[in-house]
Amino acid sequence: MSISPTTGPLPTSRTEADGSAVIRVLSYNIRSLRDDTTALARVITACAPDLVLLQEAPRFFRWRKKLARLAAASGQVLLTGGATASGPALLCSLRARVEHTEDVLLPLTPGLHRRGFATAVVRFGGARVGVLSCHLSLQKDERRHQGGMLLDRLAALDTPHAVAGGDLNERPDGRTFKRLAAKLQDGWAVAPWGGEHTSTPTDPHQRIDALFATPGVEILGCGVPIGHPGVSEADLRAATDHLPVLAALRIPAA
């Protein structure tokens, strides 16, 4: 059975009378800002996210300044990550009240790239949520172990609800993707919206980037923001070598 994505605008951010919050979350591999950073900032700004989960953030010379510039140009602030998480990073809007941040370096496999998680606990109104950005290994056995560590790290955040996302380097039929989807809600599978495939911008043919949420979070829509107001195909092609994933989520009050 094929999945038909929903159409129409994605719900906007708001705080409900019961203390729950509707938030927008964006996951984006930005290839160390080696492409058109002005186009990248326009895409992020147009998506109006409350949380931005980055992968391949700058890790070397003046990396903090580069991330801070991107955040400012996108209407965000730098939350955590970058070199201290070996690539993953988190940005947030001024709606977020930050409780805690932690960058985690994963065990290094000799000969392979060091990986890590950028994590935080934030509040929106009465909703308290854990957040994790990841970029999993290209090597399948290491990637499988990292998937288990991701689930353990989400549990260690000790929040009633959590969101995780990033570049999985694996399609939905892979072992690690399936392991995550068995424990978490896969945003596109639950409430498809926009486009599905995230790689590559010039020839989208595979979904290797995803946003997940713990049970109890209501996924209102999730997908690549193709056709989203203010997001042009030219900017998506110029910004980086992945397409972003945008989701609207309703987080219950804690």
User: Is the pLDDT assigned to residue 2 strictly greater than 70?
Assistant: no
The answer to whether residue 221 is domain-embedded is: yes
What are the residues facing 193 on neighbouring strands?
6
Which range marks the domain in which residue 101 is found?
15-251
> Looking at residues 114-134, what average pLDDT do you find?
98
Separation of alpha carbons 210 and 28, rounded Å: 9
In a domain, 9, yes or no: no
Q: Is residue 7 part of a domain?
A: no
At residue 84's C-alpha, the angle toward residues 82 and 85, to 5°, is 70
Query: Within a domain: residue 4?
Result: no
Does residue 200 form part of some domain? yes
Q: Is position 8 within any domain? A: no
Note the pLDDT tens digit of each residue in 181-222.
Answer: 999 999 999 999 999 999 999 999 999 999 999 999 999 999
CATH label of the domain that carries residue 132: 3.60.10.10
In a domain? residue 136:
yes
User: In this structure, is residue 204 part of a structural domain?
Assistant: yes
The count of structural domains within the chain is 1
Confidence of residue 5 (pLDDT cuts 50, 70, 90): low
Question: Is there a contact between 196 and 5 (Cβ–Cβ < 8 Å)?
Answer: yes
